[in-house]
Amino acid sequence: MEYFLEQVINGLQLGMVYALIALGYTMVYGIVRLINFAHGDVFMVGAFIGYFGFTNWNMPWPLAIVVAMIICAALGMTIERLAYRPLRYAPRIMALIAAIGVSFFIEYFCSLKFMFGPNYRVVQRPFEEVYWSIGGVTISNIQVLIFVTAVIMLIGLQYLVYRTKLGAAMRTLSFDHDTARLMGVNVDRTISLTFGIGAALAAVGGVLYAIAYPQIFTFMGIMPGLKAFTAAVLGGIGLIPGAMLGALIMGQAEVMTAAFISSQLRDMIAFSILILVLLIKPTGILGKTQPEKV
Amino acid sequence: MGVNSNYKRLALYAAGTVAVYALIKLLVLSGFINPYWQRVLDQSMIVAIGALGLSVIFGISGQFSIGHAAFYGIGAYTAGLVTKSLGGEAAAFLAALVAGVFMAALVAFLFGLPVLRLTSDYLGIATLGFGVICKVGFDNANKVIPAMGGATGMTGVPQVADFDWIFLFFILSIVLARNFVQSAQGRSCMALREDEVAANVIGINIFRYKMLAFVFGCGLAGLAGALYAHRYPFLHPSNFDFLPSVDFLIIVVLGGMGSLTGTVVTAIGWVFLLEVLRAVLGMAFMDWRGVIYALILVVTILVRRQGLFGNKEYGFLAPRVFKAKEGPNATVKG
């Protein structure tokens, strides 16, 4: 039983990291209907900046997170400006291929020797790992940190989307760009900021991931990126609580499979759940089914 | 256009194909194409066969798939298993090809039954998930069938697919894809790509044609995989996971959605691009290969957002234009 509860917590830890990535995917998708494949690589850049922050640049780790957020936000907005904005009203598949291209570019460019280099790096944690035992269940301070940070980010994002002018603009855009423009929404600026916020969240996820699973390399973003996007679809793409829920399910599915069945089958189970959910409810768990208009 | 000129066209294309074949053979025999570039050429034709499959599924019928390499892998492993147990004679090789195509098509049919009801991005994500599941399957296949090698890769498939075989199937695939696209079935597929509801209203059974295109396209992927298994002595699950699927997708979109010409040319160009970069850059700048490759991809998309060939077809692949003799709206594009 204790083993089971510990696995639940491990799943929560992984799920929260996925959630931080999935939020960026879902926000961007909600507004521009683009699967931003480069998002997983922004996550990777975040992890590296955080790592350089608290090892090479001797920053306290909270500062390293903030620096990673700022740099990744700038990166996300730059990508949007250079690669996606010119294709915004082109066929959607073109923007998707551009996103794949940008993703490859970031991966290979960061693998160059004067950037991050092609090798795996082992992350020295910026603080000692401490374990607490609560009723026989072991929890580490890293897990608490990830949980608290993710929840704070989620609440902050909910506030931003539902209580601020920017959030209102984002929600308007998710319905119709032209109408939003008529209502006085600055479309370019709002989309740009959405990419920035999503990238900053991915950066937080990246630094936390580097602390929790202390090994980083330039292609590390692919799988978590895919899974986070899958999580967003699972929960209902375009919905913030959906991304969170989907990410938690993905995290649990993966950790539970690894713990009780076979660690090699973890991806298989996670994606089987996805296909099952899509078949039963194509718009995701929380998604609303819209009647098809002719 | 009379019957005679049709035969003339056909003879012309046949002669052209033989000429290309003879030219390549000559270049090989004269040593101008060394075994390395021969290998690249073979690889490019194999990729083109697989990409034609995705072109029919996505470009022609509009069914978004990011799991195409899974069917490529199913074809490769199935065919590999057949010749590994039967040996490498021509008959066994052909049986292996048939088995690879059949297996890929069968899996596509079973997977398509529930999944093809999904549309656009949701279908894409489901196929992506299927690709990951297949990769895990290949990784662990040795637990059920030891000959499949699992995560360490499969070896020992007789290497009997030489240039002649691959060229033959390359041409066959082009003819097959072209005839499919220009048949009534192909037109139905195009109709449902443009607008599913409208297609349904004019009496097209959407699901049936989605399935037809999907099974046909995955069958071609299976053929490509079966050839691959007999050309490259080492099959590894990572040859058939997410990134090769993305490669197929890039080729189809970059070539121009709905253009088979674009798919074939881009597939060959895309494979050669990587190797040419390798040759041009030299060891010191090898790290830059991926960067340049990615940049070429992004810039091409930004400059030509309709793809290299738009949706146009050329030469043999172009649909014939029928001209009526009289009447005000005489020209009807076929």
Q: Is A145 on the interface with B (CB under 8 A)?
A: no
Strands B321-323 and A137-140: unpaired
Dist CA B271 CA B163 (whole Å): 16
Q: Which helix (H) or strand (E) holds A11?
A: helix A2-32
φ/ψ bin of B138: left (φ > 0), alpha (ψ from -120 to 50), beta (otherwise): alpha
Closest Cα in chain B to A118: B287
Q: Is B305 on the interface with A (CB under 8 A)?
A: yes
The pLDDT of residue A182: 93
**pLDDT, mean of residues A81-90:** 89
Residues of A in contact with B242 (CB under 8 A): 222, 226
Strands B234-235 and B154-155: antiparallel
The pLDDT of residue B330: 45
B169-217 pLDDT per residue, tens: 999 999 999 999 989 999 999 999 998 899 999 999 999 999 999 999 9
Amino acid letter, residue A254? E
pLDDT-based confidence at residue A169 (cuts at 50, 70, 90): very high
3-state secondary structure string, B125-167?
Answer: HHHHHHHHHHHHHHHHHHHCCHHHCHHHCEECCCCCCCHHHHH
Closest Cα in chain A to B63: A93
The pLDDT of residue B74: 95
The pLDDT of residue B333: 45
Q: Is A107 on the interface with B (CB under 8 A)?
A: yes
Terminal C-alpha separation, chain B: 12
How many residues in total does chain B contain? 334
Residues of B in contact with A94 (CB under 8 A): 253, 301, 305
Are B227 and B161 within 8 A, CB to CB? yes
B320-334 pLDDT per residue, tens: 665 555 444 444 444
Distance of alpha carbon A64 from its chain centroid, rounded? 18
Q: Do B297 and A83 touch (CB under 8 A)?
A: no
The residues near B100 (Cβ < 8 Å, ≥ 6 apart) are B74, B75, B76, B78, B79, B82, B222, B223, B225, B226, B229
- For residue B200, the tally of other CB atoms under 10 A from its CB is 14
Q: Which of A106, A211, A286 shows the shortest CA–CA distance to B291?
A: A106
A24-80 pLDDT per residue, tens: 889 998 888 888 889 999 999 999 999 999 888 888 889 999 999 999 999 999 999
The pLDDT of residue B94: 93
Dist CA A142 CA A139 (whole Å): 8
Q: How many helices (H) and strands (E) does chain A have?
A: 11, 4
Task: Quickly list DSSP for B251-266.
Answer: HHHHH-TT-HHHHHHH
Closest Cα in chain A to B307: A94
Dist CA A83 CA A39 (whole Å): 13
Q: Do A275 and B129 touch (CB under 8 A)?
A: yes
A202-257 pLDDT per residue, tens: 999 999 999 998 889 999 998 899 889 889 988 888 888 889 999 999 999 999 99
Q: Which of B132, B249, B253 sits opposite A271 (nearest CB)?
A: B132
The pLDDT of residue B332: 46
Residues of A in contact with B140 (CB under 8 A): 264-265
Dist CA B90 CA B105 (whole Å): 22
Residues of A in contact with B133 (CB under 8 A): 267-268, 271-272, 275
Are A235 and A247 within 8 A, CB to CB? yes
Strands A215-216 and A121-122: antiparallel
Residues of A in contact with B302 (CB under 8 A): 83, 86-87, 98
The pLDDT of residue B6: 77
**Against a cut of 0.90, is the pTM above it?**
no
Dist CA B73 CA B274 (whole Å): 21
pLDDT-based confidence at residue A294 (cuts at 50, 70, 90): low
Q: Is A265 on the interface with B (CB under 8 A)?
A: yes
With a pLDDT cut of 90, the percent of chain A lying above it is 43
Residues of A in contact with B289 (CB under 8 A): 108
Instruction: Using 50 as the pLDDT threshold, list the residues of chain B that sit under it.
Output: 326-334
The pLDDT of residue B176: 93
